[in-house]
Amino acid sequence: MKDGLYTGILVGARLGVFGANNSEAVKLDFKVISDDDGALSDPVDAAVFLWTTGKAWPYTEEKLEKLGFNGDPENPVFHDVCYELGVTLACKNDTYNGKPQTKWDIHFGKSAPASADAVAGFKAKWAATHPTALKSRPQAPVEEEIPL
């Protein structure tokens, strides 16, 4: 697979000991179904290892939280979207000890909270065209039957 972003459907997860150093990790198994160009004709298996030791733990914890992990390594469950729509995965090809290797990771992108000035500017723009603020979620429109 070429370097890039893909969509993968979560098909399995387990806590185990992996790698040359026999380190503890959560292994997430995915079926990669699409890339930037659309659906793949032949889905590909991919494994993401979220290491639970040392300095890796905060990154692993954050990723598991975002995926909606239930906290039970013996019966792991994640958000439905992981199983139904998929998760964005990053593929990176590299060389490790002189051997080519493909590594997969969860990709959430980078973001930061908006500054107070940005929030105030947004509110002003919105208020200019929407004079009344909604206090709750709007109701979905009711579909009308159209006579044939």
Give 77-113 pLDDT, tens digit per residue.
999 999 999 999 999 999 988 999 999 999 987 656 6
Residue 8 confidence (pLDDT): 96
Residue 55 confidence (pLDDT): 94
Which whole-number Å values give the CA distances from 135 to 74, 95, 108, 122, 132, in the listed order? 42, 54, 30, 17, 9
Q: State pLDDT tens for residues 61-76.
A: 999 999 999 999 999 9
How far is residue 21's CA from residue 32's CA, in Å, rounded to a whole number? 27
pLDDT tier at 13 (50, 70, 90 boundaries)? very high
pLDDT exceeds cutoff 90 at 132:
no
